[in-house]
């Protein structure tokens, strides 16, 4: 779309969120980049986005981020829920605090941000909510109970928002990527290499790409293009859906 929009994007210090901010700026959108990591401030400034510091596990901080977008830009048209973390542990050993942190950040924050953006989107009769889920919103793997549960829940939130937004010009969709080349995955490669006593390249090929038909990692910019489509006017008939960008993982 050529129409400039106001977008709030979370988790923008690196990886997918950073790529979404860059691409939205290329499209001429105004962007509030929300992260708790100060590195996101420099990245935002470099492309003419506005940075807002918030720890999204805090409900008040979620609401403050939306308030800031409305104060700065007058409205919110596009919400991209992207901030996320991973913790790998068996259910038996999974720390309760980690479970709560992951659910707060990756399920409760998208709910609170959607809720806070809703009046602005409804009043304008136009809104786009794009939730960055994961292939792990569709299938599970051992050791990632909190992440997988939060991501599966995010699909439920997406579907509910789609039904409620249908008559108000608001769409909600999820994107389900397999492994994307980001710091989050670099850390996992290093962890898994240590865990299995393998070389990092072996981890990528034998563990991460085991189920992939296309044997490579996904580029953040490839996910950003899909976000931009779902956030565009052209995607007005698309809602409540989950878009796999998973190298064929879930085809089997
Ligand atoms: P990343 O680690 O590069 O970026 C995550 C961002 O979230 C960082 O900027 C970080 O500072 C921010 N963040 C973390 N905790 C926060 C908090 N409490 N408050 C505010 N910001 C916080 O990760 P990424 O790989 O780009 O992942 C982005 C999203 O994509 C996540 O939701 C992730 O689950 C999802 N995803 C990633 C992959 C992958 O392979 N990388 C695959 C599927 C889904």
pLDDT surpassing 70 at residue 1? no
CA pair distance 8, 71, nearest whole angstrom: 12
Same domain, 209 and 227: no
Identify whether 73 is part of a domain. Answer: yes
Task: Encode pLDDT of 147-206 as tens digits.
Answer: 999 999 999 999 999 999 999 999 999 999 999 999 989 988 998 899 889 999 999 999
Same domain, 18 and 55: yes
Q: Domain holding 47: CATH number? A: 3.40.50.720
Q: Which residues are catalytic?
A: 147
Residue 1 lies in a domain: no
Q: Is the CB of 134 under 6 A from ligand 1?
A: yes
Residues 54-77, mean pLDDT to the nearest whole number: 98
Q: How many CB atoms lie within 10 A of CB 25?
A: 18
**Is the shortest distance between the CB of 188 and ligand 1 below 6 Å?**
no
Q: How many domains are contained in the chain?
A: 2
Task: Answer yes or no: do 239 and 186 share one domain.
Answer: no
Q: Is residue 82, in this structure, part of any structural domain at all?
A: yes
Tell me which residue range forms the domain holding 188. 182-217
> In this predicted complex, what is the ipTM?
0.99
Let me know if residue 251 belongs to a domain. no
pLDDT of residue 191: 87
Residues 122 and 228 in one domain: yes
User: How high is the pLDDT of residue 71?
Assistant: 98
102 C-alpha vs ligand 1 centroid, how far in Å? Answer: 11
Q: Are residues 188 and 174 in the same domain?
A: no
Q: 171 and 150 in one domain?
A: yes
């Amino acid at each position: 779309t050529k129409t400039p929009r106001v977008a709030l994007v979370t988790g923008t210090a690196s990886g997918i969120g950073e790529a979404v901010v860059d691409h939205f700026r290329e499209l001429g959108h105004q962007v509030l980049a929300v992260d708790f990591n100060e590195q996101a401030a420099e990245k935002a400034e470099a492309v003419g986005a506005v940075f807002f510091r918030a720890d999204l596990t805090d409900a008040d901080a979620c609401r403050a981020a939306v308030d800031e977008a409305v104060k700065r830009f007058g409205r919110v048209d596009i919400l991209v829920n992207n901030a996320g973390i991973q913790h790998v542990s068996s259910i038996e050993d999974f720390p309760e605090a980690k479970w709560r942190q992951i659910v707060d950040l990756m399920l409760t924050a998208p709910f609170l941000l959607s809720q806070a953006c809703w009046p602005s989107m409804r009043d304008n009769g136009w809104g786009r909510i794009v939730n960055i889920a994961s292939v792990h919103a569709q299938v599970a793997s051992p050791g990632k109970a909190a992440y997988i549960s939060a991501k599966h829940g995010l699909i439920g939130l997406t579907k509910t928002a789609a039904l409620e937004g249908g008559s108000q010009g608001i769409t909600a969709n999820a994107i389900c990527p397999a492994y994307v080349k980001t710091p989050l995955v670099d850390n996992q490669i290093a962890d898994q290499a240590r865990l299995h006593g393998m070389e990092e390249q072996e981890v990528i090929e034998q563990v991460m790409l085991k189920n992939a038909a296309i044997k490579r990692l996904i580029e953040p910019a490839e996910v950003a293009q899909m976000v931009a489509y779902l956030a565009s006017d052209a995607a007005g008939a698309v809602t409540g859906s989950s878009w796999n960008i998973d190298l064929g993982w879930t085809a089997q």
